[in-house]
Structure 1
Amino acid sequence: MSGVSLTPATASVKVGATTALTSTVSPADATDKSVSYASSNTAVATVSSVGVVTGVSAGSATITVTTHDGSKTASTAVTVTAA
């Protein structure tokens, strides 16, 4: 596998709302396309195993996607605003 990308590069979500991020593993014919997601600040935003971000409290967090083998990462800056 040559890389992973995460779109959009930046996202904004209100407290209590959700937004979806999309990861793309390249090349398209990679044998293992599984990825995991993590939030740099789960008090501000959480992320599900499929890339759905939920706003928890106002602030900023970085959502990072990592390929299964851990060798490639990509990230999205998320801003959470008051509902």
Structure 2
Amino acid sequence: MQKRVATANGITLSQKTATIKVGTTKQVTVAANPTNASDASAVVSATTFSSSDEAVATVTNDGTITGVAIGSATIKATSGAFTAEVAVTVTE
């Protein structure tokens, strides 16, 4: 069992880049930094996701990205003051 440490100082996503095809999905997961922070579960559960271009890729609040059209978009995860991004390329 890991010892709990101070509060989280950021978030990270399971990947920094993703390539998906139109009509397919990929899920990214979020983790608090450090993962054993005393408020890690609260930080993770408060995370919301957004897409820089919903005409190219959409994202749900569980981190599921859907390719809509060929192009590139940035998926941003936000939890309070913490943010992390994934660069998404959508192909045919």
Name the TM-score, length of structure 2 as normaliser.
0.81
Q: For structure 1, which segment, 54-63 or 32-41, has the greater mean C-alpha deviation from structure 2 after superposition?
A: 32-41
Unpaired segments ≥5 residues, structure 2: 1-7
Which residue in 2 is equivalent to 1:78?
A: 88
Structure 2 residue identity aligned to 1:43: A
Identity rate of aligned residues, in percent? Answer: 43
Equivalent position SS for 1:43: coil
- Runs of 4+ in structure 1 off by over 6 angstroms are none
Where in structure 2 are the equivalents of 1:1-83 lying within 5 Å?
A: 1-27=8-34, 28=36, 29-30=38-39, 32-33=42-43, 34-67=46-79, 69=80, 71-82=81-92
RMSD of aligned residue pairs (Cα, Å)? 1.1
Higher Rg of the two aligned structures: 2
Structure 2 residue identity aligned to 1:63: I
Structure 2 residue identity aligned to 1:35: T
Matches of 1:81 and 1:14, distance apart in 2: 5
Residue-by-residue CA offset, 1:19-74 (whole Å, 9 max, x unaligned) = 0111112343216221000000000000001000000000000000000x2x1100
Matches of 1:38 and 1:75, distance apart in 2: 10
Unpaired segments ≥5 residues, structure 1: none
Choose between structure 1 and 2 for higher RCO, CA contacts under 8 A separated by at least 6 residues: 1
